[in-house]
Amino acid sequence: MNVDDHVGGPIVVLGSSGQTGRGVADALEAHGHNVRRASRRSQWVFDWEDNGTWAPVLTGARRIYVVLPERRFDWAGFLGAMSSSGIERAVVLTARNPGASGDGVADGAERAFSESSVDSTFIRPSWFSQNFIAGLFSRQLDPSGELRLPVGDGKEPFIDYRDISDVAVHALLAQDSGTRSIEVSGPELLSFDEAVSIVGDVTRRELSYVPIGLDEWRDEAQHMGIPGPFVDALANLFQAIAEHRDEYLSPGVVEHTGRVPRSFRQTIADMSA
């Protein structure tokens, strides 16, 4: 992929205080690009629920990194604002199998951007490795030492979100045009039992994975305070893993950065240091 060092204007990074957004913004600034770090709490205030914040962030920019809102979204207004502001390229973080969750968020976004006039690249990652240290899975592991999930012995190629950020930067600076998707994953397939064992080994804790049924997990998720729609989406994703539908590697990190993705053990060690 040819890279353009002269993008003709600022680059907007939505979700710039989040996991991948921060890495994208840092890397772009390190390479001398003018970055607008946008979020609800940044200098460039952006709120999906307040369309009055959109134009000030978008106007004058040419490229944008988009982290999706957590719920289904009507994209017409935002895409119109992008078009009228002069945005030419969007890199959108979606999901590995966009429709697998059944919530319409990732697949709805891909459909809307594909039908727009903006050159769009969709980055489709596997589950984040960091979820075991500071995220969904750590919420169980940290207090109890157990990870109770309805994924059976299904395997997942967990990815370091820093690798996603690196791919996103390359996609933002690309000279090519058109709509495409980039599938990214870690370098190895791991069962959740194997992943939890690695986390325990690296962090020197007694941890275990306990496979449970889907209905039992739904009950426990409600007690953990996970909102109902999110429970439904996660249940669909976990079922895909249990049915071994996620057991494949994706080449996007190597193809777009020239290096192999970080291993799960390396990520856990880095995040635990």
Please give the tally of structural domains in the chain: 1
- Give domain status of residue 155, yes or no: no
* The pLDDT of residue 224: 86
* The pLDDT of residue 151: 98
- Give domain status of residue 59, yes or no: yes
| Helix ranges restricted to H, 127-160 | 138-144
Residue 168 CA to residue 44 CA, distance in Å, equals 20
- Give domain status of residue 227, yes or no: no
- Give average pLDDT by consecutive 10-residue segment, the chain, 273 residues: 62 96 97 96 94 96 96 96 94 97 96 95 98 95 96 98 98 89 98 98 98 96 89 96 98 97 98 93
Residue 227 CA to residue 211 CA, distance in Å, equals 22
| Cβ atoms 119, 90 nearer than 8 A | yes
* The pLDDT of residue 178: 83
Residue 102 CA to residue 29 CA, distance in Å, equals 36
Residue 176 CA to residue 64 CA, distance in Å, equals 15
- Give domain status of residue 194, yes or no: no
* The pLDDT of residue 6: 58
* The pLDDT of residue 2: 46
Show the domain range for 48. 11-126+160-185+248-258
Q: Which CATH number fits the domain that encloses residue 177? A: 3.40.50.720
* The pLDDT of residue 9: 87
CA distances from 152 to 42, 131, 148, 185, 239 (A): 41, 18, 10, 20, 9
- Give domain status of residue 74, yes or no: yes
Q: What is the pTM of this model?
A: 0.94
- Give domain status of residue 226, yes or no: no
